[in-house]
Amino acid sequence: MARMKFLCDADRCIECQACVTACKNEHEVPWGINRRRVVTINDGLPGERSVSMACMHCTDAPCAAVCPVACFYTTDDGVVLHNKDTCIGCGYCSYACPFGAPQYPQTANFGTRGKMDKCTYCSGGPEPDMSQAEYVKYGSNRLAEGKLPLCAEMCSTKALLAGDGDIIADIYRERVVTRGYGSGAWGWRTAYGETVTV
């Protein structure tokens, strides 16, 4: 079974924000929520790099450790998903996440948090695959259709890679060897306890 991961090759990312837009459009993400975002480090300085970041689908996910209602689960593909019916919008996962993935729509008075929303690795939620109920809560389920996450699939410079962790690590490693440099697999050490070594 594949272990799905994201890898952003920051030396290729041109900060075009297409991954962000594609994600928002594909899943009809509510206003104010970004399941994916691009962060530019050393902006305007020599060595500036942009990294596209979303939920990294961690091994031993910290969000799942702090969730008071145990609404998180990890799929056979290693994707961390959650059940919005169980979520109480307490916000704990957003303070546990190292990547700023969990976000909340404002639903009631005093800015009360609604059900948490985050990247699903384009694989929906606990509802039946590709059902309307699943689409409304989590967006489309591309994985069930045999496709990879749209953000990575349509990345113009192929900076953002999605797929089995071993395969995308090999692709990245080959790139680094060929071109002679690489800024690292951003977030991997924090999410999986290991990084891609060349």
Partner 1 sequence: MTILSRLLTALSLVLALSLSAPMAQAQVNPTQSSVSEDALFQALGTAPVAGRVTIPDANAGYLIKPENKSWAALQGQTLHTLSIVAVVGMIAILALFYLIRGKIRIDSGFSGRKILRFNAIERFAHWTLATTFIILALTGLNLIIGKSVILPLFGEAAFGTLSTWGKIAHNYLAWPFMAALIMIVLLWIIHNVPNKLDLEWIKMGGGLFKKGVHPPARKFNAGQKLIFWSVVLGGAALSYTGIMLLFPAEAGTAADWQFYQTIHALVAAGLSAIVIAHIYIGSVGMEGAFDAMGSGEVDENWAKEHHGLWVEEVQSTQARNTAQVTTPAE
Cα separation of 155 and 174, whole Å?
A: 19
Which among 74-82, 84-92, 138-146, 148-156 is the span making contact with partner 1, rule CB under 8 A?
A: 84-92
N-terminal to C-terminal alpha carbon distance within the chain: 24
Which among 91-99, 127-135, 150-158, 160-168 is the span making contact with partner 1, rule CB under 8 A?
A: 91-99
Does position 97 interact with partner 1 (CB under 8 A)? The reply is yes
Cα separation of 168 and 190, whole Å?
A: 17
Does position 182 interact with partner 1 (CB under 8 A)? The reply is yes
The residue count of the chain comes to 198
CA dihedral 20, 26, 32, 37 (to 10 degrees): -20
Min dist CB 24 to partner 1, Å, is: 11
Does position 99 interact with partner 1 (CB under 8 A)? The reply is yes
Min dist CB 183 to partner 1, Å, is: 5
Does position 41 interact with partner 1 (CB under 8 A)? The reply is yes
Q: Which is nearer to partner 1, 66 or 167 (CB)?
A: 66
CA dihedral 3, 4, 5, 9 (to 10 degrees): 110
Which among 48-56, 133-141, 144-152, 155-163 is the span making contact with partner 1, rule CB under 8 A?
A: 48-56
Q: Which is nearer to partner 1, 38 or 159 (CB)?
A: 38
Contacts 24+ apart (CB under 8 A), 71-77: 73/126, 75/123, 76/1, 77/1, 77/2, 77/3, 77/4, 77/121, 77/123, 77/143
Does position 107 interact with partner 1 (CB under 8 A)? The reply is no
Cα separation of 143 and 149, whole Å?
A: 7
Residue ranges that bind partner 1, judged by CB under 8 A? 10-11, 17, 34, 37-43, 46-51, 53, 62-63, 65-71, 83, 85-92, 95-100, 180-187, 189-190, 195
